[in-house]
Structure 1
Amino acid sequence: MTGRPLRIGNASGFYGDRFDAMREMLTGGELDVLTGDYLAELTMLILGRDRLKDPGAGYARTFLRQLEECLGLAHERGVRIVANAGGLNPAGLADAVRKLADRLGVPVRVAHVEGDDLRTRYPDSLAAHAYLGGFGIAACLREGADLVVTGRVTDAALVTGPAAAHFGWGPGDHDRLAGAVVAGHVLECGAQATGGNYAFFAEGDVRRPGFPLAELREDGSCVITKHPGTGGFVDVGTVTAQLLYETAGARYAGPDVTARLDTVRLTQDGPDRVRVEGVRGQAPPATLKVGVNRLGGFRGEVAFVLTGLDIEAKAALVREQMTEALARTPPAETRWDLVRTDRPDAPTEETASALLRLVVRDPDQETVGRALSGAAVELALASYPGFHVLAPPGKGSPYGVFDDVYVPHGAVDHMAVLQDGRRVPVPPAHDTAVPDDPPEPPLPRPLPPGPTRHAPLGLVAGARSGDKGGNANVGVWVRTDDAWRWLAHELTADRFRELIPESGPLKVTRHPLPNLRALNFVVEGILGEGVAAQHRFDPQAKALGEWLRSRHLDIPEILL
């Protein structure tokens, strides 16, 4: 296709990502727009607690420190910056950036997007924010902004906004917007698209992956790549992994458009270049997602170390003792987990030891503190042989709970606020539809019978997993047609439950994506009330996919 593409890069996948990435992206090659994603469900809770202490806080302060080094550089190179670092206070961040620009002597026009804050609707929340789309960002850029900060927009909006402004797209350009959503979803987590957290990481040098960029064209297609000479690698696998991350079925609904992930086509377009095309879009749903973060209560934990022989009996003894002690002032919730990290005839004390974890929760901090500090410490000389704990139990720390609810588009005052103070309303989506539930796609012919070997799934399949509130998403993909013929028939929802036993009593939904040779599984409720509640050992399900890859099943030898 003719015409120069819009080059959009990413310099942050979360609040705390590599500080030098902004400079690396600005100096490493040509860019038109540089984006940064600083927000996540847990981040909003953290920023909410910050703002309780200081009403002027609530935004990602590291973004300001990055700009101190890079604002002049971006201005010299003509690169516009778009970031959601505004968090709970985008107006405050915009003012801080203007003061910084004045101090540095850099003539930068700063705008911000607001309207996502719905805390007045949810007065018991620390943070309640609608996920806005990209047209507020687009309005800021069309009015000449050089730097745009937002609060809670969708991660992909950081790309759909600049693309809509640059190409002149409107809300009805569903296919083009869907292509930009896919590009934005690939970029949003930074180095996860360039070899970071990648199942087949040994295939490239991922000690310091570069950050990704998209060469986006007017028709919505793009090429995912990275700056020359940076670490990591970009191939169909790294892009597939990120496409599956924290998505579910074939319809990826957002405030701008519903992108049809079952239409995405990926092809290798040269070294470190993957072409993304064919994406179709549909009208967005009539409602916006709202993330509500609230304080759930207080949480305390103690890990008893059980060493050597009779692990099960030692665990039973201390559990019985603690249960009796806790009955005096019972906390609202008690959870035990025995983690068998021990091995027979171990060469070190650590490898001879197992961990018995006790977690208690209660609305009252003192109840948590009494339950653990008193009861656990009193057993120090009166329990199993070798009694000790990993760390002294504390008084209990606050934990958060995340809920997602939905409101009509018109329930928010989506607003672009410009450098000169003008406020430009962003109209709600007028063309909406309920995302259709597509029929199950036809599966490929199964592989013919043949010899198998009992081996780890990860020898033939990659996986990436993550969290959406209390649910976990596990994407699994393979790299050949024959492997897809096997995986599509072998890894059913029931087989998934067998391989991941804790998902057994939960609802597991399987979503096939044949174009990607992939299956996406959603496990409902496995993360309890969300990451901030620390419900399980891996509270964001980051390694759930790697656990799945380590499980053994009968794999055809021709695939091995």
Structure 2
Amino acid sequence: MPDPVRIGNCSGFYGDRRAAMREMLTGGELDFLTGDYLAELTMLILARDRAKNPDRGYAKTFLSQLEECLGLAVERGVKIVANAGGLNPAGLAAAVRALAERLGLAVSVAHVEGDDLVGRSAELGFGTPLAANAYLGAWGIVDCLNAGADVVVTGRVTDASVTVGPAAAHFGWRRTDYDALAGAVAAGHVIECGVQATGGNYAFFTEVSDLRHPGFPLAEIHADGSSVITKHPGTGGAVTVGTVTAQLLYEIAGARYANPDVTLRVDSLCLHDDGPDRVRIDGVTGEAPPPTLKVSLNSVGGFRNAMTFVLTGLDIDAKAALVRDQLGAGLTAKPAELEWTLARTDHSDADTEETASALLRCVVRDPDPAVVGRQFSNAAVELALASYPGFHVTAPPSDGQVYGVFTAGYVDASEVPHVAIHADGTRTEIPPAAETLGLTPVGDPELPAPPPSGPTRRVPLGLIAGARSGDKGGSANIGVWVRTEEQWRWLAHTLTVDTLRDLLPETADLPVTRHLLPNLRAVNFVVEDILGEGVAYQARFDPQAKGLGEWLRSRHLDIPEELLPQ
């Protein structure tokens, strides 16, 4: 068997740790270094950037990282693959070439394009969004690497594709090597969000010895697609079965996880402790990809403003009712949307003013910036001497801000060009998958035997269960896992959709689907429409649903005493 290929990650989002590229290049051996700079919200940010200047539209921080690290990568023979090209991969590739020339480095730079469908949006039935980008796969990256590229930048490819491409190029995989490709998708999904795989945002974070500066992850991928997730020696954080499980559950749905090149069967994954800071992923199976590609559609939804009133002490509900009535009567123009939320952060007989206070938040949205601008915020502040006792707000009057709307579209893969552009300008058309398989749900496996009855204690779910949650357009997922077979038997029988709705009342009237993943001892919930029209819409105070899982872990259930930690 050939040696594994070592693929590291140095970015989980646009704005991640700037020093990570240098840390990964100097911290240990690598063959490839990848970076994920794109998210649904990032595509809107880059689209607005490009609207101001057509030469923009890519992640500028990637260039600043290369400024100090490109020479290191060349010296160490590490090839770089990143989706930092955003909406302008050709522009970023040209900028990288100019940087290399200025640094006196001989570097072959290639890029992948074809994902940008905004010019054909109406034709494809997507209306007139500000940005429309199909999620491409890995084979354009493979073509660039096989032609000798040292740096490959892409637009909107799937997050895992920047890992799948290097692995497929290294081992010479064919497009129908589904199990190997699916294994690389699993590894890529684990490392794509950077330090979330090494203890960041981890439910049991108190078990991680050093989180001051966690190291970024890397995957040692083998020829059969199995992998070991690890990190450079001596770096902070930890790689454990738990941290890898958490990341595998991040932003997924059911047992099938579709990518443009292969559909990963998440229910096939097996995790094993492979030593300190090493977790092996094997047993992975894959299926042909679906015939369609997902399209990220970002539009300007209108203008938004907010005002937060502080309510202190007694009569909180009456104070909230008064200011709502007063502001409603005082607005000369009614916004298209006006939402109130009251956060009862106050405590009885509190020993500080802050803990004696609740927060009443008013959010307004409208197509007209004047309606939600000073006209709204001034009306709120004008109540200062005429409203409830102790009136004050958390911020001064402000103008309305543009907000975005995200929707997902789908298009036949044959409708989307996928092109590798090499350093010499030659272009290679990447055909869509010849074999496809429609994405259908996998029926839940048979439930395990119910746990034995015994005495219980009413305690937080998080005493035995971890969770990881995140956004998927207007929906969110909550993956919940436990660490023993006995706990899994209890979890599978207890944490049903109805139980989730009871524990999280915000989900009570929303469509919720539960998926069982026995190999991970996990259940995954998909909660539709909880985020409105996407992250930029800010439908709730946690617009990316990052805290949903922790809210669920804090809720109390009757848990058998034998399952609780001693």
Same structural fold, with TM-score higher than 0.5 when normalized by the shorter chain? yes
Amino acid at match of 1:231: G
Specify the alignment match of 2:125 in structure 1. none
CA distance in 2, matches of 1:213, 1:122: 37
Aligned to 2:80: 81
Query: Is it true that 1:491 corresponds to 2:490 in the alignment?
Result: no
Q: CA deviation at 1:436?
A: 3.3
Q: What letter matches 1:510 in structure 2?
A: R
- Determine if the alignment matches structure 1 residue 337 to structure 2 residue 336: no
Question: 1:302 and 2:307 equivalent?
Answer: yes
The equivalences for 1:62-141 within 5 A come to 62-122=61-121, 124-141=128-145
Which of 407, 412, 433 aligns to 2:411? It is 407
Mapped partners of 1:377, 1:221: distance in 2: 60
Which range is displaced more, 95-104 or 405-414?
405-414
The answer to whether 1:512 aligns with 2:516 is yes
Preserved CA contact (<8 Å) 1:467 1:473: yes
Match of 1:453 in 2: 457
Question: Please, which of 388, 393, 409 is the counterpart of residue 392 of structure 2?
Answer: 388
- Matched with 1:9 is 8
SS class of match (1:232): coil
Give, as a single letter, the amino acid of the residue that structure 2 aligns with 1:115: G
CA contact (8 A) 1:300 1:393 kept: no
Equivalent residue number for residue 437 of structure 2: 433
> What is the letter of the counterpart of residue 558 of structure 1?
E
Shift of 1:367: 0.8
Q: CA RMSD in A?
A: 0.8
Distance 2:376 2:549 in 1: 33
Secondary structure of the residue aligned to 1:323 is helix
Q: What is the rounded CA distance, in whole Å, between the counterparts of 2:245 and 2:506 in structure 1?
A: 26
Is the counterpart of residue 277 in structure 1 residue 282 in structure 2?
Answer: yes
With 153-162 and 431-440 compared, the bigger mean Cα shift is at 431-440
Secondary structure of the structure 1 residue equivalent to 2:452: coil
SS class of match (2:470): strand
Instruction: Report whether the alignment pairs 1:244 with 2:249.
Output: yes
Match runs of 1:338-357 below 5 Å = 338-357=342-361
Cα pair 1:11 1:190 within 8 Å, conserved: yes
The AA in structure 2 aligned to 1:377 is V
3-state SS of the aligned residue for 2:371?
A: helix
Letter aligned with residue 215 of structure 1: E
- Determine whether 1:524 maps to 2:528: yes
Q: Aligned to 1:366, what secondary structure does the other structure show?
A: coil
Residue in 2 aligned with 1:476? 480
Give the whole-Å Cα distance in 2 for the aligned partners of 1:372 and 1:474: 36
- Structure 1 stretches of 4+ moved >3 Å: none
**Given residue 556 of structure 2, which amino acid in structure 1 is its aligned partner?**
H
Letter in 1 for 2:166: P
The CA deviation at 1:371 is: 4.5
**Do residues 549 (structure 1) and 549 (structure 2) align?**
no
2:151 alignment partner, one of 139, 147, 152: 147
Give, in angstroms, the shift of residue 422 of structure 1: 0.4
TM-score, length-normalised on structure 2? 0.98
User: Residues 44-81 of structure 1: CA distance to partner in whole angstroms, max 9, x if unpaired?
Assistant: 00011111111111000110000010000000000000
Matches within 5 A, 1:160-179: 160-179=164-183
Distance in 2 (CA, whole Å) between partners of 1:381 and 1:166 is 70
**In structure 1, C-alpha distance between the alignment counterparts of 2:262 and 2:196, rounded to whole Å:** 24
In the TM superposition, what is the alpha-carbon distance from 1:222 to its structure 2 partner? Answer: 0.5
What is the aligned length? 558
1:208 corresponds in structure 2 to 213
What code does the residue aligned with 2:282 have?
Answer: E
CA drift of 1:8 comes to 0.3
User: Does structure 1 conserve the Cα–Cα contact (< 8 Å) formed by 2:374 and 2:398?
Assistant: no
Report the counterpart of residue 160 of structure 2 in structure 1.
Answer: 156
Partner of 1:202, secondary structure, is helix
Tell me which residue corresponds to 1:360. Answer: 364
1:381-426 C-alpha deviation (Å, 9 max, x unpaired): 1111111110023121000000000001111110000000000110
What residue ranges of structure 1 are gaps of 5+ in the alignment?
Answer: none
Shift of 1:370: 4.7
The whole-number CA distance in structure 2 between the counterparts of 1:106 and 1:11 is 22
Please tell me whether the aligned partners of residues 331 and 371 of structure 1 are also in contact (alpha carbons under 8 angstroms): no
CA deviation vs aligned residue, 1:480-526 (integer Å, no higher than 9, x gap): 01100100000001100000001000011000000000000000000
Residue equivalent to 1:260: 265
- Name the stretch that deviates more: 296-305 or 337-346: 337-346
The equivalent of 1:219 in structure 2 is 224
Q: CA deviation at 1:324?
A: 1.4
Q: Is the 8 A contact 1:330 1:371 kept in 2?
A: no
| Partner SS for 2:526 | strand
Q: Cα deviation per residue 1:467-486 (whole Å; 9 max; x = unaligned)?
A: 00000100000000110010
Please point out which of 196, 203, 221 is paired with 2:200.
196
How many angstroms does 1:114 deviate by? 0.2
TM-score, normalised to structure 1, is 0.99
> Helix, strand or coil for the counterpart of 2:176?
coil
The structural deviation recorded for 1:126 is 1.7
2:245–2:520 Cα contact (<8 Å) kept:
yes
Structure 2: how far apart are the matches of 1:370 and 1:201? 43
Letter in structure 1 aligned against 2:12: G
Structure 1 CA distance, aligned partners of 2:62 and 2:437? 37
- Identical residues among aligned pairs (%): 71
Aligned partner of residue 291 in structure 1, secondary structure: strand
Alignment check: 8 A CA contact 1:221 1:277 kept: yes
Supply the distance in 2 between the matched residues of 1:70 and 1:369 (Cα, whole angstroms).
Answer: 44
User: How many Å separate the matches in 1 of 2:530 and 2:451?
Assistant: 33
Deviation of 1:168 (Å): 0.9
Work out which of the residue numbers 177, 186, 190 in structure 1 matches 2:190: 186
Q: CA deviation at 1:215?
A: 0.4
